[in-house]
Amino acid sequence: MYRHKLYSFLLRASGSPEMAEDITQDIFLKLWKNRELLTGIAQFGGYIYRMAQHQVINSLKRMARETLILGELGKTQPLAGPDAEAQLSLQEVTQSLHHALDKLTPKQKLVYTLSRERGLKHEEIARYLNISPSTVNNHMIEALRLIRQQLRTSPEAFTVLLVLLVFVP
């Protein structure tokens, strides 16, 4: 009953069909898991849209944080200090990042490179590639998802990524 309206709301809020679909599924999964608690909710429609609003905000914050971290990793600057183990870990993460980038489609890799290495905004990339800004956004979302997925398969890379999540503002 709420799926199509909720998906449309999330699509407008996020600008990404993939993100809207993922959040829609997450919301309904949470509702199902906590279905016993739903009997006390008087305005279910408002409740579900508030959940959606929080989910999209959290997803965008997480994506921004991950983008910052991946941007820092892409610079491949050595860590401060002579700690050889930290240097080696950073090199492993950098190699994992480059390996993940090699698995992207050519368009995703181009959009990622223009955004993260050249510092172009989505609108600038869209004009440069003659595609819409939402298409650029979709390519970035998918590229970051694939990169996260690839980094999770490497325990060393994932550990360093977690450390960066904690210490990078």
Find where tokens 């860590």 sit: 79
Q: Where is pLDDT greater, at 82 or 27?
A: 27
Report d(CA 148, CA 73) in Å as an integer.
13
Q: 130 and 105: one domain?
A: yes
Q: 92 and 55: one domain?
A: no
The token duo for 25 is: 């599924």
Asked whether 18 and 142 are in contact (CB, 8 A), the reply is yes
Q: 1 and 22: one domain?
A: yes
Q: What is the CATH number of the domain that holds 20?
A: 1.10.1740
* Domain with 155 in it: 84-167
Report d(CA 9, CA 12) in Å as an integer.
5
Number of domains in the chain: 2
What is residue 83's predicted lDDT score, i.e. its pLDDT? Answer: 57
Q: What secondary structure letter does DSSP report for 39?
A: G
Report d(CA 36, CA 100) in Å as an integer.
42
pLDDT in tens, 60-107: 777 776 766 766 666 544 444 445 655 666 666 677 777 778 888 989
Supply the mean pLDDT for the chain: 76
Measured from the Cβ of residue 139, the count of other Cβ atoms closer than 10 Å reads: 24
| pTM more than 0.95 | no
- Provide the sign of the torsion angle of the four alpha carbons 78, 120, 56, 17, taken in this order: negative
pLDDT at 167 over 50: no
Maximum separation of any 2 CA atoms in the chain, in Å? 60
Q: Where is pLDDT greater, at 153 or 34?
A: 34
Asked whether 14 and 59 are in contact (CB, 8 A), the reply is yes
Question: To the nearest whole percent, how much of the chain has pLDDT over 90?
Answer: 1
Q: Where is pLDDT greater, at 111 or 56?
A: 111
pLDDT at 168 over 50: no
pLDDT at 123 over 80: yes
Report d(CA 123, CA 108) in Å as an integer.
15
CA-based nearest residue to 67, from 119, 24, 102, 17: 119
The verdict on residue 33 lying in a domain is: yes
Q: 20 and 61: one domain?
A: yes
Q: Where is pLDDT greater, at 46 or 154?
A: 46
